[in-house]
Amino acid sequence: MSAEAADRVAAVGSSRPSTPLQTSWFEFLLDSSLLEKHLQKSNPDPVPAQLIIQFLEQASKPSVNEQNQVQPPADNRRNRTLKLLALKVAAHMKWDLDVLEKGLTTPVLNMLLNELLCVSKVPPGVKHVDLDLSTLPPTTAMAVIIYNRWAIRTIVLSSFPEKQTKPGPHQMNMYVFIVQQEKEMTENILTVLKEQAADSISVLEGALRLKKDFYVHTMRTLDLLTADAAANGETESSTAGLCISADELHCQVHYDLGGIFFQQSCTDQLAYKKAKDHFRQTNELLKKLNTTVHVHLDEKRLSGYWNACKALTADCDLSDSQMSPYNQINSLIRIHNYQAVIEAFIKDNVTRSLPSHFRRSVLREFLYKVQQGETGLDEVCHKLCVCNAVRDALEGEILSVRFQQLLLKPSKRIVDFILEVCMRSLEKDCPSETSRRNMANFMKNLCESLEELSLVFVVSSHKLFMELLKEEERKVLVEQMRKRSATINLSAKPLPSFYDIPASASVNIGQLEQQLILSLEPRRIRQILIELHGMAERPYWRVNSKWEVPPDYINVILCIKDNLTKDLVYILMTKGLHCISIKDFVHARQLFSACLELVTEFSPKLRQVMLNEMLLLEVRAHETMAAEGSKERPPPDLVSRVRGYLEMRIHDLPLRQVVGEECVAFMLNWRENDYLTLQVPPPLVMNNPYIKLGQLLASTCKELPGPKESRRTAKELWDVVVQICSVSIQHKRNSDGRVGLIKQRESSMGILHRSKFITFIKKLREPLVLTTLISLFVRLHSIVRDDIVNEVTAEHLSIWPSSLPNIQAVDVEAVAVTVKELVSYALTLNPNNQSWLITQADIYFVTNQYSAALNFYLQAGAVCSDFFTKAVAPDVYTDQVLKRMIKCCSMMNCHTQVAVLCQFLREVDYMTAFKALQEQNSHDAMDSLYDYIWDVTILEYLTHIHHKRGEMEKRQIAIKAIGQTELNTSNPEEVLQLAAQKRKKRFLQAMAKLYF
């Protein structure tokens, strides 16, 4: 350096505060002793993790040859030294994976550990699971263990909710360009690690079988690797490297294995037991070790894992005083100690430590077991129901319907148990006045609910009843019971002398008719009808006025000559149809099968009718399962039967249109598009409007997205739907002689009525079919409304025509109602479809329902960004959507929200933002929203406007917001972008909580 240069440096140094300069990565290449000195500093800059990233980043930079072609990183001395420096930094950190995982990304740590495997002489191309750790040199075996520990830890960490990390200074220059690439690399590495998870687990389980001490590379042993061959041999000796005792390593490996098994137990319940065993051994080794220098684990998380495993494997120690009440209840259920569960509920009625919703969920679990066929649990359910009812009564809550049903026909045993629970549920020492009053009301209601006087007497003569109710209340209640008993004796119970009279036929007929109404057993129904016809010949299909068969079948059934057979066919069919309506498909199948067997003997026509109804039953049963979440495709036999029905040609056979309608919907829902488009007979398409609709929908969906010339079917579907939504027009001459148009709304010009069309649509579930229909109606809606500014948006709008030849014939109101119904229905099937959510929001927007519109715009953003933890895709929050959100906020006088949203646009709309901030009557949180503003110009304007108004407190809030270092305009663009993204996420989450 020249003298002038030295003087300049000295001058600059003397004029600025003395701050140490950051050591550059290349300086460590020039001075081999610098790294150790740097790492021994109390606050080294850069920190060790940053050094590793810098070394590996420089070592992995691609090179450019003389022809300007990009080549892989060169394997030269410089790059090898940089990789070794990175390993030496990790060795200084004692290979603490907790620290390394926090400071390094997955791709960087993967590169580092692969370098460790390389320098540790792990045989390349050999699977780790095939290596015998006991025969490998100590540092080589340890490198394999460290890598496989990291592999399973990374799999576990990847299953946790993703947290956005802030880029460090080393990443600033390239962050914007490599973030997506880094994400893809991480996903690729994770895919490989998950594929090799079983091998990694096997390697670590092998490490647990080794009882000798382990050795890991240190900075010294890594230095020796660069020395001559003799020194290199020392690194493979048993004394080289940092010694880690077997107990310490086993403790850490048990913890890591417990974590991976716990994560796998989501799909493999037996894995919980393996996880529990590893966590148990971790705890035992922790107690054994006096100091845990090389054990790095979260003891709170270990405790949580241990408690979870104990609860999930039903191995909880019930005598453990530390066990939570939830675990105690769950453990009692698992060991089938149901009496103890009931006792716990009774005790909780006094302490009230268990939430009511948890107690109700326990009852629901027992009821589910009863439904699944477990015997002996009815009484447990009744007793738990009683315990919950008494708890609700003590808290002044409304009693459950299930408890009210229990009181319809209670046994004395249940009433005695209710009284016992009431006695034990009041505080023993001094019950509060509220508890006493609530319990008194409960016992009073109990008396009024019981029908049998003997049970009423049991309650009214009880000690607790006497204590809680005043004498006047007891007298009034007893008088009410007397009056009611007189009514009951006269109306419900026969007089004693009646038993001396022989039973008349009318009494027997009445009883049999009641049994006929209630029975769902085909053999029993037949037996009852035989008995009834033996007593009196009359039409018993009229016994219940609610029994109805479809009008299409009534004539065929009533033409049956034999009255008994007629009654039986009618009643079996109507009961089967009722069972289908309440989704009791098991009984429906039994009833229809019996009816089919009966009519097969004498009527081919009725046999085909029953086969058609049984087909509809199976279609509805399968569609019900699909609606409840089943992904199982229908069996080929069912699909074949549906095709057979659609192609059926039997003369003079009564056919219900609903069967054909649901068959077509079924084919669309299960994407049988090839059949609908290619194999349906042409005459069938011409004669059946539902098949015509199904064919057009299937063809249009198959062609999406396609070239314009392939959209002929889309145009056909458009014409059919336009006709459905059109009305006939008549010309009428007015009194002044002019000719006017009159629309006849009640008559549809289409292949079927709009109401039937809507009914058909609501049987569809296939997302692409619904998206196509929504798109069609949105386009039609836009044309008939003719409002270019406020158009509703949807997918695939370009496939539909942009005009109508006869727009006056279209019923505008019908189109508007249909598009609303269609989108609302689609969202009941999938509330997370972002395209449908945006369409619903637009519908609310164009009808000036701004709060509802904003709700759905926010929902659309939330579902595509994991509740705004990620950035919302620009194709979801387009400028048009953002401007509509801005208008919604403006129309609701939420002007600060308007200003914040103006920043979201690709070009910040300062005019709208400034105008909104000038409004003093804002209905939002105003200055508390300033933390969400990242645009300095808007914040400066806020500071100015508050100063101008003399609002000093709000001005200080704005100044504080603008003074945050991350908003400094001198920052790199990447820092400013990160600050904006953070505020966007927080603002949208706050808006969602406000409007959801």
For residue 16, what are the CA distances in angstroms to 13, 19, 689, 970?
6, 8, 87, 20
Pull the structure tokens for residue 818. 């249909």
To the question of pTM greater than 0.75 for the whole model, the response is no
833 pLDDT band (50/70/90 cuts)? very high
Question: In the predicted model, what is the mean pLDDT of residues 757-767?
Answer: 91
Cis amide prior to 46 (ω within 30 degrees): yes
For 722-759, how does the pLDDT look when each residue is reduced to its tens digit (9 = 90+)?
988 888 655 444 555 554 444 444 445 678 888 889 99
User: How many other CB atoms are found less than 10 A from the CB of residue 34?
Assistant: 14
- The span from the CA of 901 to the CA of 995, in Å, is 15
For 32-68, how does the pLDDT look when each residue is reduced to its tens digit (9 = 90+)?
777 777 877 878 778 888 888 888 888 887 776 666 6
**DSSP readout, 812-856?**
HHHHHHHHHHHHHHHHHH-TT-HHHHHHHHHHHHHTT-HHHHHHH
DSSP state for residue 710 in the 8-state scheme: G
Q: Are 627 and 762 in contact (CB under 8 A)?
A: no
Pull the structure tokens for residue 48. 């060790």
CA dihedral for 540, 545, 548, 554, sign (positive or negative): positive
- The span from the CA of 883 to the CA of 864, in Å, is 19
- The span from the CA of 110 to the CA of 92, in Å, is 18
Q: Which residues contact 810 (CB under 8 A, 6 or more apart)?
A: 722, 725, 726, 780, 784, 804
249 pLDDT band (50/70/90 cuts)? confident
| 579-588, Cβ contacts within 8 angstroms, sequence gap of 24 or more | 579/520, 580/616, 580/617, 580/620, 583/624, 585/617, 585/620, 585/621, 585/624, 587/520, 588/617
**DSSP readout, 335-354?**
TT-HHHHHHHHHHHHHH--S
State the pLDDT at residue 748: 54
Annotate 505-520 with b (16+ C-beta within 10 A) or e (fewer).
Answer: eeeebeebeeebeeeb
For 279-324, how does the pLDDT look when each residue is reduced to its tens digit (9 = 90+)?
888 888 888 877 666 787 878 888 888 777 776 665 545 455 556 6
State the pLDDT at residue 165: 52
383 pLDDT band (50/70/90 cuts)? very high
Closest of 836, 835, 783, 834 to residue 812, by C-alpha:
783
Q: Are 969 and 942 in contact (CB under 8 A)?
A: no
State the pLDDT at residue 739: 46
Q: Which is it for strands 242-244 and 214-216: parallel, antiparallel or unpaired?
A: antiparallel
State the pLDDT at residue 1: 44
Answer yes or no: is pLDDT of 5 > 60.
no
For 102-142, how does the pLDDT look when each residue is reduced to its tens digit (9 = 90+)?
888 888 898 888 888 888 888 887 888 888 888 888 888 88
Q: How do the residues of the chain divide into helix, strand and coil, expressed in percent and rounded to 5? A: 65, 5, 30
- The span from the CA of 56 to the CA of 63, in Å, is 15
- The span from the CA of 749 to the CA of 347, in Å, is 70
User: How many other CB atoms are found less than 10 A from the CB of residue 240?
Assistant: 20
Q: Are 529 and 575 in contact (CB under 8 A)?
A: no
User: What is the residue whose two structure tokens read 């808290």?
Assistant: 395
Choose the most confident range, by mean pLDDT, from 174-183, 486-495, 771-780.
771-780
Question: In the predicted model, what is the mean pLDDT of residues 754-775?
Answer: 92
User: How many other CB atoms are found less than 10 A from the CB of residue 286?
Assistant: 17
Q: Are 78 and 29 in contact (CB under 8 A)?
A: yes
- The span from the CA of 293 to the CA of 801, in Å, is 74
For 398-430, how does the pLDDT look when each residue is reduced to its tens digit (9 = 90+)?
888 888 888 888 888 899 999 999 999 887 667
User: How many other CB atoms are found less than 10 A from the CB of residue 151?
Assistant: 26
574 pLDDT band (50/70/90 cuts)? very high
Closest of 670, 673, 723 to residue 700, by C-alpha:
673
- Mean pLDDT across the chain: 82
State the pLDDT at residue 10: 44
Helices (H), 159-270: 175-195, 197-208, 219-224, 229-234, 246-264
Determine which of 542-546, 694-698, 709-713 has the lowest per-residue pLDDT on average: 709-713
969 pLDDT band (50/70/90 cuts)? confident
DSSP state for residue 20 in the 8-state scheme: P
Closest of 920, 917, 851 to residue 884, by C-alpha:
851
608 pLDDT band (50/70/90 cuts)? very high
Answer yes or no: is pLDDT of 500 > 70.
no
Residues in the chain: 996
Question: In the predicted model, what is the mean pLDDT of residues 181-208?
Answer: 86
Max CA pair span of the chain: 136
Question: In the predicted model, what is the mean pLDDT of residues 199-226?
Answer: 84
CA dihedral for 938, 943, 948, 950, sign (positive or negative): positive
Q: Which residues contact 896 (CB under 8 A, 6 or more apart)?
A: 916, 917, 922, 924, 925, 926, 927, 929, 930
Pull the structure tokens for residue 781. 């809606």
Determine which of 71-85, 389-403, 666-680, 810-824 has the lowest per-residue pLDDT on average: 71-85
Percentage above 70 pLDDT, the chain: 85
Determine which of 14-23, 308-317, 471-480, 810-819 has the lowest per-residue pLDDT on average: 14-23
User: What is the residue whose two structure tokens read 């200074």?
Assistant: 169
**DSSP readout, 749-812?**
-SSS-HHHHHHHHTT---HHHHHHHHHHHHHHHHHHHT-STT----TTGGGS-S--TTGGGB-H
Q: Are 149 and 222 in contact (CB under 8 A)?
A: no
Determine which of 169-173, 513-517, 719-723 has the lowest per-residue pLDDT on average: 169-173
- The span from the CA of 58 to the CA of 56, in Å, is 5
R_g of the chain, CA atoms, integer Å: 39
Answer yes or no: is pLDDT of 267 > 70.
no
N- to C-terminal Cα separation, the chain: 67
Query: Can you say how many angstroms the Cα of residue 722 is from the centroid of all Cα atoms in its chain?
Result: 37
- The span from the CA of 526 to the CA of 565, in Å, is 9
Query: Can you say how many angstroms the Cα of residue 441 is from the centroid of all Cα atoms in its chain?
Result: 42
Q: What's the CA angle centered on 11, arms 8 and 15, to 5 degrees?
A: 140
- The span from the CA of 865 to the CA of 920, in Å, is 34
Question: In the predicted model, what is the mean pLDDT of residues 225-233?
Answer: 50
State the pLDDT at residue 494: 35
Q: Which residue has the higher pLDDT, 317 or 579?
A: 579
The identity of residue 774, as a single letter, is I
